Amino acid sequence: MERLGGTSEEEDMEMDLEVKEEDDDDERSRTVVAAEEMGGGFFEEEAASSEQIHIHGMGGRRSRPKEEKERTKLRERHRRAITARILAGLRRHGNYNLRVRADINDVIAALAREAGWVVLPDGTTFPSRSSPSSSQVGKPAEASPLTVAVAPQTTPHLKGLSPAGGQISSGDNRQCRLKGVYTLPSAYDGQYRQGVIVGGERCNENFPLVVSCKETANEKQVIDLPQRIPERDFAGTPYVPVHVMLPLGVINTKCELVDLEGLMKQVRILKSINIDGVTVDCWWGIVEAHAPQEYNWHGYRRLFQIVRELKLKLQVVMSFHECGGNIGDDVCIPLPHWVAEIGRGNPDIFFTDREGRRNPECLSIGIDKERVLRGRTALEVYFDYMRSFRVEFDEFFEDGIISAVEVGLGPCGELRYPSYSVKNGWRYPGIGEFQCYDQYLIKSLRKAAEARGHSFWARGPENAGSYNSRPQETAFFCDGGDYDGYYGRFFLGWYSQLLVDHADRVLSLAKLAFEGTCIVAKISSVYWWYKTASHAAELTAGFYNPCNRDGYASIASMLKRHFVTLNLCSELRTSNQQAGFSEALADPEGLIWQVLNAAWDVSIPVASVNSFPCYDRDSYNKILENAKPLDDPDGRHLSSFTYLRLSPVLMEGCNFSEFERFVKRMHGEAVLDL
């Protein structure tokens, strides 16, 4: 029987339940492992029957009454039902790629990989920054309970670790949870970071651990807590303003400010650590909800007054997209009702994929100049909305309270096509699909093909796969595929240029509406499949950036013409921290630096916002390194950073302390860790 945790024979008698079922024709042995309780671990099975178990001879053969066998079968069915529900939840809510008949080993391996560990096929497990010894590779590891062994004179106090070695007090852990990883809460003394145990819960990631495992033939497995990697000192570095994005639902669909007292309390606390300002979405679907050119700014005016009273700066986002269909959305704010009504009669106002599926998240760029919105073009609708905002809040512009306006240019407010829409079935790391099949974009493609002299090119690629395909599974995106042929280069050039032209037109109008105010355009980071030749996920999103072409230089040049700041939506986790990076040949850091260089080469300011919430020091350090590159000969740095987003989790004690420390370092202040 394969044992989990590396227990001794005596401990096996207490921890493991061996089940033996006999059929008429043959015998099968089945092992049921009762998982150790580790702060709310995977399974809790009732104790084995107290009836006498007779052991015959040295072979250890056991016999049980028929009634006990029936109870064993019932327990086994109950265990399988629990397992099925756990696996279903992990697949559905955690995006775990688990086989249909996955077992506890598969789950532990998946969680270990998410924690940044390497799991070999034979079960050998080690941190990604270390490598297994030659004696470890190819043979099963001797399992043993996880214990901590450090020199007595430097041992930090570890909460929840019993003297017996390995039992964890659940009372210390209920407060801090993260999917799939259990962290031993510990006092940080400047030398060690938290220990991580796979298979249960995890405390907040103030000091994420990289551990090394040592094994001997007869000794228990030991985790060495390594010395913490020295941090770069940001004292005296350039001042980078920090803004905090307010919750999505701070203004409800009636344009009313929600939870005024709670919001004021949280913003006052943020003010106390010297953040520079807050950022808020001004939703088109709320303000112009019921009829064209009937704008309701009431709730936003009350919010802006609070920000002014607290003497904070305000960044606003002209959000021309819906909220509720993307990762991280916790409220639903659709497009205006009158726009949805038009869409029911003319669905081609929305982006459309090859199968004819519509995406109502935002308007297609194909109608920028089409008068299909009650006599107005999409560009006129955007301009009227921005002009109304500028007139309504003129005093906040004149007083300098509103320091920047970000203009929505597509789904999630980002300049891209909605190529990887979860609503249409996309799952990471699928390559996505081209979104150019509404009648207006097809018309544009036909004109471009005829102008090129090849009218038969007036079609989208027929061999580009589907949302969840991988590059090598398609004839279009595979190495040497059609993406780099004559037709492929024509189509991708047309597809990407439409996106640049759309941004060019909208930002021209924004400069008219908000003359004298900083304008910002947001660019997404489509980093999966970045290490392939085609960069398939970027191509379907509209970034013509294969390995032999810089797809971001033209975007940066366009932004330069309008003196617009580029806001880069950054993925902060490294490939060692994010499960699936190696599988998807992803390189978020490589993409970030390519976009930064494209922007800085034309001397435009670059701001940044994190893709996912972060609370740990490692992620903050990554932001800082990107914000203030080390030894840059030109002293380049980010113009500002927006933290996504204000939440109760951010305001918790240890999380908030880490955020305060981060703000100080972004401001170039010295920090002292006790």
State pLDDT tens for residues 303-361.
999 999 999 999 999 999 999 866 666 789 999 999 999 999 999 999 999 999 999 99
Cα 119–121–125 angle (5° rounding)? 25
State pLDDT tens for residues 102-156.
777 878 877 877 777 777 766 777 775 444 443 343 333 333 333 333 333 333 3
> If pLDDT is split at 50, 70 and 90, which confidence band does 556 have?
very high
pLDDT value at 508 more than 70: yes
Q: DSSP characters for 620-637?
A: HHHHHHHHS-TT-TT---
Strand partners, 333: 323
- Among 209, 164, 362, 374, residue whose Cα is nearest residue 290: 374
Distance CA 102, CA 639 (A): 48
pTM of the model: 0.68
State pLDDT tens for residues 38-54.
333 433 344 444 444 44
> Is the sign of the CA dihedral 529, 531, 536, 538 positive or negative?
positive
Is the previous residue joined to 241 through a cis bond, with omega within 30 degrees of 0?
Answer: no
Here the tokens at position 210 are 């990289």
Can you give the C-alpha Rg of the chain in angstroms? 29
- What is the three-state SS of 537-580? HHHHHCCCCCCCCCCCHHHHHHHHHCCCEEEEEECCCCCCCCCC
Helix (H) or strand (E) holding 282: strand 277-283
Burial label, 220 (beta-carbon count in 10 A; 0-12, 13-18, 19+): buried
- pLDDT for position 150: 36
Q: How many CA atoms lie within 13 A of 50 on its CB side?
A: 0
- pLDDT for position 64: 55
Helix (H) or strand (E) holding 662: helix 653-666
Distance CA 197, CA 180 (A): 9
